[in-house]
Chains A and B, each alone.
Chain A
Amino acid sequence: EVQLLESGGGLVQRGGSLRLSCAASGFTFSAYAMSWVRQDPGKGLEWVSAISGSGANTYYADPVKGRFTISRDNSNNTLFLQMTSLRAEDTAVYYCAKDFHFDTSGYFASWGQGTLVIVSS
């Protein structure tokens, strides 16, 4: 059974940094691309970033480009999202999601339960 467990969320001041983690189990982690998707409380979903199975290819949504960095540790089955220069509009629940393929297919087959990030001004 695929399991994804996010951690690292919390309250941070505007302009601050935070590092999210996602511990994966139940599948061959290095064989699949992974993504981060966020959801503004009470609102819709927004794709944030994706990374290929090897980590060689990374992709970002325009609102986070240059501020967020996605990475992965395949030896420890963990996905990361380093967030810097945080803004109020980054406040959201952040989900990690497993892809269908080695490189991003754009479909999110399995999701974690999310971790809440609140950016205060």
Chain B
Amino acid sequence: IVLTQSPATLSLSPGARATLSCRASQNINSYLAWYQQKPGQAPRLLISDASNRATGIPARFSGSGSGTDFTLTISSLEPEDFAVYYCQQRSTWPPTYTFGQGTKLQIK
């Protein structure tokens, strides 16, 4: 299963609303996660099962979608939100988990 993220780069100002997309090459139900990665750091889980926020993740992060089209929304960007975001699917069995290529969210 191939995950395609868009856009590759998103330039926004603090306080703006960010909408990141992830499209799967086939139906993955709701088996999708979102991760945030900052330079020099490991990824951090934000969302699992398309819309469940991980422990400690602020409410400004929300996920939606099912089937093949998914969205990560950041309602009002904070300075610490500028990073690379990856989607990841866990739909297949036996496991062949795959990640999208990432969306870089940068300050405008």
Chain A residues packing against B (C-beta within 8 Å): 44-47, 50, 59, 61-62, 95, 100, 104-114
Contact = CB atoms under 8 A, between A and B. Distances in A.
B90 A105 contact: yes
A106 B35 CA distance: 13
A95 B95 contact: no
Interface string B10-44: 00000000000000000000010101000001111
Given A44-B86, A45-B88, A106 B31 contact: yes
Interface residues of B, number: 23
The secondary structure that dominates the B interface is loop
The secondary structure that dominates the A interface is loop
A79 B101 CA distance: 27
A106 B45 contact: no
20 contacts: A44-B86, A44-B99, A45-B35, A46-B99, A59-B94, A59-B95, A61-B96, A62-B96, A95-B43, A100-B48, A104-B95, A105-B90, A106-B88, A106-B95, A107-B45, A107-B88, A108-B35, A110-B45, A112-B42, A114-B42
